[in-house]
A and B are shown apart, each in its own frame.
Chain A
Amino acid sequence: DSGVTQTPKHLITATGQRVTLRCSPRSGDLSVYWYQQSLDQGLQFLIQYYNGEERAKGNILERFSAQQFPDLHSELNLSSLELGDSALYFCASSVEGGRGAYNEQFFGPGTRLTVL
């Protein structure tokens, strides 16, 4: 158990809908990262928050947004969902802020999103 929790574990929804994925980092970790893992695209970094502020951005679509709250939990919002958004969405956390090459991240169990 990494100490990172993600809810829900599974989510099934329809095209055009909006969903929210939730992540709670390990105690003491200030950074939260979101990843998407799909058969087509592999594992892709989406976005990072550090202590409530956006720190780095990867291949995140405009239909997707995230935020980190004062209690450090984070939410990833996915809107206007398409079939291709079906994937495993991981959250990870770290103590480091991400401004260096070294960064040990602890991954949550993931949320499996299925868009029908």
Chain B
Amino acid sequence: AQKITQTQPGMFVQEKEAVTLDCTYDTSDPSYGLFWYKQPSSGEMIFLIYQGSYDQQNATEGRYSLNFQKARKSANLVISASQLGDSAMYFCAMRHPSGGSYIPTFGRGTSLIVHP
């Protein structure tokens, strides 16, 4: 069964420093997509970044980058130059084939707190 593991329930980082949030996944499908979402205390889910299983280069979106190590089945999110507004829950997710479509499986999330 497909699985997403986020081993860090909580992380702390100083403002302006970089932080890495870990995510490992388990699938036997060759085609899949990896996503990171941010959920602030207000509750909404915000899409951050995507990495396809066939993508050769690591995805980047502004201060977010995805460190994709396919052989290790890891898709860690790197946030550079942390800001106070980055304090939130972060979810790693994988879209994988199921019944002719693709469905998502989410990790349990990592709570990030950015200190001034």
Contacts and interface: CB of A to CB of B under 8 A. Distances in A.
Contacts of A43: 91, 106, 109
Contact of A107 (B45, B102, B106): B45
A101 B109 contact: no
Interface string B90-102: 0100011011111
A103 B32 CA distance: 11
What DSSP secondary structure best describes chain B's contact surface?
Answer: strand
Interface stretch (B12-20, B47-55, B71-79, B80-88): B47-55
Contacts of B100: 99
Contacts, number: 65
Given A106-B47, A107-B46, A101 B95 contact: yes
A56 B100 CA distance: 8
B43 interface: yes
Interface residues on A, range: 20 to 34
Contacts of B33: 100-103
A1 to B, nearest CB: 9
A44 interface: yes
Given A103-B95, A107-B44, 19 more contacts: A42-B107, A42-B108, A43-B91, A48-B101, A55-B101, A56-B101, A99-B100, A99-B102, A100-B33, A100-B102, A102-B33, A102-B52, A103-B33, A104-B47, A106-B47, A107-B45, A107-B46, A109-B44, A110-B44
Nearest to B31: A101
Contacts of A98: 101-103
B8 interface: no
A45 B102 contact: no
B75 to A, nearest CB: 13
Contact of B102 (A42, A56, A108): A56
Interface residues of B, number: 26
A76 to B, nearest CB: 16
Interface in A27-64: 42-45, 48, 55-58
A110 B43 CA distance: 8
A55 B95 CA distance: 14
A105 to B, nearest CB: 7
